[in-house]
Structure 1
C-alpha cells in the first residue's frame, strides 16, 4: 500500500511540475510577444482576428481617431484651412493623441469642376492649384509623415447631399463601385490608407438580409467590398449598419442587428469591420433616453444594436461617429461619458465626430477659433486612446517629402 501511495504522489508531482513548466513557458511567450508589440515602430495594414483588429505581427490594434470633414461639402477641401495651415492641423491631431482620421468625401469631389473653396493660400501656399484627388493626396501624405492612419468615408454622392441609399439616379451603383476601385488602386501599397467606409449612414428604405438588390445594403456591401479587395487586398472593408431592422428603429447607419443572422460575406473575411454611428439626446430624444432606468439601460441598448458583434467575438466594430456638445452631468453629457467608458471596457475602436468645430449638432474637439482644444471632451476621450506606433517622415523643416508618391493615378469620370 505504501508503494502504491508513493507512486500516486510521484505522478501528481510530475503533473504539477509539467503544468508549472507549461505555465512559465506560456507566460514567457506572452511576455516576449508583448515586448515585440510594444517595440514595433509601425503597424502597417490591419486585419481581424475574431473581434480584434491586429497588425501583420498579430499585435492588437485599437483605432482611436477623429473625423475631419469638408471634402464632402461644397468646399471640396477639409474645413479650417481658411484660418490654419494644413500641416499644423495634422500636427495638432497627432499631438492631442489621436491615431486615425476618418476622411469623408463625396463622389462629386473628383469631378473636374469641383474647385476647392475656403483655403487661405497665404497660409497654405503648397495647396494652390490642387483639387480633388491631388488635394486628398497631399493631406494623406501629411498624415503619413506623422504616422497617422486614414479611413476613407464615402459620405455623400454630391456635395452636401447624403442619399438614403448608396446610390442615386445620377451616381449609380456602378459609379459608386468604380470610384472606390479608382481609390483602391490609387492607394494600393500605401499603408497610411487602411480602409474604405463604403457608404455613410444607409437609412430609410435600406434593408438588411431580405435579398432585394435595390435596397439590401448587406448585398451591396458585398458587391463593392469584394470588388475593392480584388484590386487592393490590404484594405479593411468597413460596413455601416442601417436605420431599422424588422421594425426596430435606431440611429442612421447604427443598426447592425441583422449582421448576426445575415453577415457580410467577403472573399477575405478577415478584412471585414462593421461600423455603427451613435448619438445622444442633443440630436434626438430617442425612447431609451426617456426610460426610467436611464442611463443604466445604455449598455444593453448598444449591445443589442451593434456592440454584440464585438462582444460575441463575431467581428470588429468601429464606432465611426459619436459626439455631442455636452460632457457634463446633464443627460447628454452622461450619455457621452457612459459611451466612452463602454468603448474602453469592450476595446472598441472609434473615430469621434468631429475634429471640426463647425458641426452644428455636436461641435468638435476644436473650439470655434479652430485652434483651441475643448479640454473637457479631450479629457473623457483620453481614457480610451491608444496611439499607434509610427515613424516620423517629415523633413527638419516640417514639410512633407515625396508628396506626389502615388504614380498609379487613374482618370475619374466626368460629371454625369
Structure 2
C-alpha cells in the first residue's frame, strides 16, 4: 500500500563468505576486526537485548533494490554506493532493512547467480559482480562501518511492483520454495552476525478492490489453509530456528481481521457504502489483532520473536483516522487520535501487555512538496516520531526509506534540497527529513554519540560500539536462575524447563555445549560440571 518505485536498472557486487567466484573486497579504510558471532540479539519481555542481557534499540532505515528486477541498491545509478553506506553510518542508522525477493534467494540456493544491472560507471568496485557477490559486497561494507542488517522477503518475484501481490506464494514460488529458500539463506549466514534477523514476508494483504476474495487474501487464524499467514510464519520461523537459532524473527500482520475472529468463505464487500462491517482494516502488514487470539508459538525459540507492523501517513493513503478531528488537532491530540483509532488495537497492545517488543518495519513519508495533504502528513510524522521516542527500547523501527526512488514517500537521499557529500554525484542528503523526523528517533548516548549494535565496530565516524556506554555483565554459563552461582538449584531449574513445567532459560547461560540449542545434552553437561 505504498512506494511505487521508479523503474530503473541496477548494480552488482561482491564477496560471498561461503560460495561464489571472483571475490572483491572494499577496504578503503582501516577498521577494527569484527567478530562474527558476538552480536546476536534476543527478547526479554518487551525488550530486545544483547547476549549479556543489556537492552538495545534498533533504530534504522530501509534500503530497497534486491527485490527489484535490477537486483541491487537502486541508488548505485546516481552515486558511489560505498560513499552512500558510509554516509548512512555517519548519520547514526544502526540497522538497515534490506528487501529481497524469494525467487532470488531460491536461485542462489541452487547455485544460480542472476546478473544485476551494471553501474560500474559510478562504482568501479562493482564491475563484473553477479547479484550474490553484490549482496555480499554490501554486507561486507555494512560490517565495516558498524551497521547491522535485517533481510526482508519483500515479494515472491524480483519485480519493482512485486510488493503489490498479496501473498508469499505465486506461480513457481510455492510455499515449499518460500520456506526452503529462507532455510537455505539462514543456514548460509548463521555464522555472520552482520545479519541479525529475518522479516519473513513484507505486508501480507488482500486482493485489490472492495470485493475481497478471501481465498486470495492473507488471513490469520488457526487453520491449515494455504493463505493462513499465521501458520506459514510460525512454521517457517521454526524451520529457520532449526538451522539458525540466534536470528531474530520479525513477523508482520495482515490487512483485514474479522471482528468476531472468524473468517468468512468466498467473497466479502468492504466498501464503506455497500459492504458489511464485519472486518477491521489497517495498512498492509499492519493488522496484528490476530495475535490476541492466535499468537505465534515458537516454543523454546520464543525469545527470538518480534512482531512488526507497518504504518504510514495520508500521502500514502488517506485512511479514515486522518480525516475529521485529526486535521485541525494539535500534535498531542493528533497522536492520541492515531493511538486510539489505529495503533492501540492493531499492534500497540502487544508491547503494552508484555507479549513482545515491536519493530515498526516501515514508517515515513514525504516532507516537501505542494500536496494539499502535506501538512497533515507532517503531523502524522511528528506523531509517530514522538510515539517511538516515548516507547524507547520497546518500540524499534526502520524508516522508509534511504532510496531516492520511492515516489510516494521520498527518501533520505534526494535530488532536491539537501547537503551534498563526497561520492554522491547528483544525490544529496535530505536534511529536512532527517533532522526533523528521523534523527530524534535514533539511538544516542548522553553525549549525542550514535550507539551501534556491534560490540567491536563503532557506528560510522560519529558513533560508538555497543557496550561503550553501558555496563557489560557477561553471563555465567550454567547459572540458569541468574543468582551469580552455579549449583544444584540451577540443575533443577533446567530440568524443570526441559520437562515443560518451567520457563525457558537464556541460551547464553543454558547452552552448555554451545550448539545453539537447549536440550538434555546441556542438562548432562551441567550435571557433569557440578559433579566434577
Q: Fold conserved (TM > 0.5)?
A: yes
CA distance in 2 between partners of 1:46 and 1:173 (Å): 28
The reply to whether residue 325 of structure 1 matches residue 366 of structure 2 is yes
**How far 1:134 moved relative to its partner?**
2.0
Aligned residues: 352
Distance 1:281 1:393, change over 3 A: closer
**How far 1:84 moved relative to its partner?**
1.8
Q: Could you report, residue by residue, the CA deviation over 1:33-88 in whole angstroms, capped at 9, with x for unpaired residues?
A: xxxxxxxxx97011001111000011111111110101101111111112222221
Q: Which residue of structure 2 aligns with residue 384 of structure 1?
A: 441
CA distance in 2 between partners of 1:236 and 1:72 (Å): 21
Q: Which residue of structure 1 aligns with residue 386 of structure 2?
A: 341
Distance 1:113 1:59, change over 3 A: closer
Distance 1:346 1:392, change over 3 A: closer
Q: Which residue of structure 1 aligns with residue 100 of structure 2?
A: 105
Q: Could you report, residue by residue, the CA deviation over 1:196-231 in whole angstroms, capped at 9, with x for unpaired residues?
A: 100110011111114142121111001100000000
Q: Which runs of 5+ in 2 are unaligned?
A: 1-36, 207-216, 259-278, 417-423, 444-450, 460-532
CA distance in 2 between partners of 1:182 and 1:132 (Å): 16
Contact 2:148 2:453 in 1 (8 A): no
Q: Secondary structure at the match of 2:308?
A: strand
Write the mapping of 1:131-146 to structure 2, written as runs, cut at 5 A: 131-146=130-145
CA distance in 2 between partners of 1:87 and 1:232 (Å): 29
2:193 to 191, 194, 206: 191
Q: Which residue of structure 1 aligns with residue 290 of structure 2?
A: 258
Contact 2:56 2:453 in 1 (8 A): no
Q: Secondary structure at the match of 1:357?
A: coil
1:281 to 308, 311, 314: 314
* TM-score in terms of structure 1 length: 0.81
The reply to whether residue 352 of structure 1 matches residue 399 of structure 2 is yes
Contact 1:53 1:60 in 2 (8 A): yes
Distance 1:261 1:131, change over 3 A: same
CA distance in 2 between partners of 1:43 and 1:378 (Å): 30
Let me know the Cα RMSD of the aligned residues.
2.0
CA distance in 1 between partners of 2:90 and 2:286 (Å): 30
Worse overlay, 193-202 or 365-374? 365-374
Contact 1:108 1:114 in 2 (8 A): no
Contact 1:201 1:253 in 2 (8 A): yes
Distance 1:331 1:389, change over 3 A: same
Q: Which residue of structure 1 aligns with residue 256 of structure 2?
A: 244
Contact 2:310 2:360 in 1 (8 A): yes
Q: Could you report, residue by residue, the CA deviation over 1:1-53 in whole angstroms, capped at 9, with x for unpaired residues?
A: xxxxxxxxxxxxxxxxxxxxxxxxxxxxxxxxxxxxxxxxx970110011110
CA distance in 2 between partners of 1:327 and 1:43 (Å): 41
The reply to whether residue 53 of structure 1 matches residue 48 of structure 2 is yes
Q: Secondary structure at the match of 1:297?
A: helix
CA distance in 2 between partners of 1:153 and 1:101 (Å): 10
**How far 1:303 moved relative to its partner?**
1.5
Contact 2:306 2:356 in 1 (8 A): yes
